[in-house]
């Protein structure tokens, strides 16, 4: 995933740019090997694709794969189309396995077929297996960059096997202990192996109690486990408890960011998209497609508000002051409902509550909204009783009486809006949907309609106007 320009190191960017402009290619390539990968990737993103290829080919294969993994998918695909398949296969084979699988899925079937013959057998098998899992599962985000040892090995034998497996330095902290069938037996750390005597058996310090994920487990659940238990990586097991891959904490961070972005978009009535780019890099038409469905749908539902107002036109003509406080009624209800929905959706996302807790949640929101309603009603009454114009009232009606009526209506609106805002996400979750889809815009539209009904019903009953 590419970082935006605000996260770049200006000094590193200036240094690389200076070396490039002065034609000091050899020093530039040396800096590629020393600087953080993301700084190098950000620098290359701004260069012509042919220059990027030339720079990459000056590096050794491991560095080619490391840097290429952090380039944007667009640039990766451009490089794929520019170089010959054999050259690309060498770079491709050095990529991080999970990113490699993602890129492989971006290729067309014909391009995949063209590339496969040039890949090593292990890489070929790895990319086909990883590409087979749905992207929203643990299998779809896992990688195969890990080290395994056997329980009957000594510390010395285990270290020798790790050197042979040669996992990347980022993934060498946890060592996974398996049997001959790759069934997971436990975990040791590199520190365990180094600190114990060379002839000590792995079984003597094996940790048999470990956190794992299942290959078809939802990726958000996997990320939450990594976050909750503060893991560097989590093993992914199949139905036979065989180790098939791991998910790293870097991947978990990416998942949490994506899920938070999706939830935020749904909260605002925007349809999420799998391949979203940065705001300015996304076309206006793509933004339009993401927003138009909810906007038009809610506008259509909002027509009901106009129908309700039209039904009570006679009441509004007699009591013009009621029209003045309709915007306040709608805004208060919308804000209350959105607040309740937001806290409930957050609690659901963090696993603090489930849809089975609906009664506790609704009762809690009733208590909270009652206190809020008292504050809002008191403020409304004071505003109407002391700061409104008496000329807006028919004869024989006092401003204090009207203030009480409108305050009662707004108090009821606050309570019902909170209940609606808390209940809808729970109902959607119960039906198997994403609670975020009923958040802010949808709830605002719904409570606008219910608010008008409450407002005019209370006014009709108390003012004696039909």
pLDDT value at position 427?
87
Provide CB contacts within 8 A for 41, sequence distance 6+.
Answer: 2, 67, 70, 71
Spatial CA neighbour of 155 closest among 111, 201, 216, 209:
201
3-state helix/strand/coil string of 307-358 = HHHHHCHHHHHHCHHHHHCHHHHHHHHHHHHHHHHHHHHHHHHCCCCCHHHH
Higher pLDDT, 170 or 350: 350
Size (the chain), residues: 466
Helix axis angle, 73-82 to 85-93, nearest 10°:
140
Q: What is the DSSP letter of 142?
A: -
Instruction: Give the mean pLDDT of 250-277.
Output: 70
* One CATH from 3.40.50.720, 3.30.70.260, 1.20.1560.10, 1.10.357.20 for 284-463: 1.10.357.20
Rank 146-155, 247-256, 349-358 by mean pLDDT and report only the highest: 146-155
CB under 8 Å to 136, separation ≥6 — which residues? 218, 219
Mean pLDDT across 294-302: 77
CATH T-level assignment (fold) for domain 147-247: CBS-domain (3.10.580)
Please tell me the predicted confidence (pLDDT) of residue 2.
Answer: 41
Same fold, 5-132 and 147-247: no
Backbone torsions φ then ψ of 189, nearest 5 degrees:
-105, 160
pTM for this model (two decimals): 0.61
Give CA–CA dist 90/111, Å, rounded.
Answer: 16
Higher pLDDT, 68 or 297: 68
Residue ranges of the domains in the chain?
5-132, 147-247, 284-463
The predicted pLDDT at position 166 comes to: 66
Nearest to 255 by CA among 170, 130, 141: 141
CATH homologous superfamily, domain 5-132: MgtE N-terminal domain-like (1.25.60.10)
- Can you name the residues that pair with 406 across neighbouring β-strands? none
> Strand 213-214's sheet: what is its strand order?
213-214, 233-237, 243-248
């Amino acid at each position: 995933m590419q970082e935006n320009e605000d996260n770049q190191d200006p000094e590193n960017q200036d240094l690389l740019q200076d070396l490039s402009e002065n034609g000091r290619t050899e020093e530039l390539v040396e800096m590629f090997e020393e600087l953080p990968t993301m700084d190098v990737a950000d620098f290359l993103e701004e260069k012509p694709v042919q220059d990027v290829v030339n720079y990459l080919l000056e590096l050794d294969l491991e560095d080619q794969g490391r840097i290429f993994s952090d380039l944007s998918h667009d640039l990766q695909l451009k490089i794929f189309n520019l170089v010959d398949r054999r050259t690309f296969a060498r770079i491709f084979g050095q990529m991080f396995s999970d990113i490699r699988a993602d890129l492989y899925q971006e290729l067309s079937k014909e391009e995949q077929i063209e590339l496969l013959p040039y890949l090593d057998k292990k890489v070929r098998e790895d990319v086909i297996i990883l590409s087979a899992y749905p992207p929203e599962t643990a299998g779809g985000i896992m990688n195969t960059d890990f080290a395994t040892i056997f329980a009957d090995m000594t510390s010395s034998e285990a270290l020798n096997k790790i050197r042979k497996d040669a996992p990347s330095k980022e993934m060498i902290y946890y060592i996974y202990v398996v049997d001959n069938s790759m069934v997971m037996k436990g975990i040791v750390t590199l520190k365990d192996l180094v600190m114990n005597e060379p002839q000590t058996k792995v079984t003597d310090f094996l940790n048999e109690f470990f956190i794992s994920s299942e290959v078809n487990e939802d990726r958000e659940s996997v990320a939450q486990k990594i976050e909750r238990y503060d893991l560097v990586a989590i093993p992914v097991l199949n139905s036979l408890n065989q180790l098939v891959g791991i998910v790293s904490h870097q991947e978990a961070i990416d998942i949490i960011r994506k899920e938070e972005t999706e939830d935020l978009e749904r909260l605002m009535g925007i349809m999420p998209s799998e391949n979203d780019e940065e705001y300015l890099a996304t076309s206006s038409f793509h933004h339009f497609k993401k927003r138009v469905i909810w906007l038009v749908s809610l506008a259509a539902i909002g027509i009901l508000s106009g129908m309700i107002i039209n039904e009570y036109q006679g009441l509004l003509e007699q009591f013009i002051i009621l029209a003045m406080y309709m915007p306040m009624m709608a805004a208060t209800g919308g804000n209350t409902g959105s607040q309740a929905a937001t806290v409930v959706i957050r609690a659901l996302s963090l696993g603090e509550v489930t849809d089975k807790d609906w009664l506790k949640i609704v009762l809690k929101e009733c208590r909270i909204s009652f206190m809020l309603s008292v504050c809002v009603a008191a403020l409304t009454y004071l505003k109407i009783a002391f700061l409104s114009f008496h000329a807006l009232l028919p004869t024989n009606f006092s401003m204090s009486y009207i203030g009480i009526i409108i305050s009662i209506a707004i108090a009821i609106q606050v309570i019902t809006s909170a209940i609606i805002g808390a209940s809808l996400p729970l109902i959607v979750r119960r039906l198997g949907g994403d609670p975020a889809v009923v958040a802010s815009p949808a709830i605002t539209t719904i409570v606008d309609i219910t608010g008008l009904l409450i407002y005019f019903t209370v006014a009709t009953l108390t003012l004696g106007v039909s």
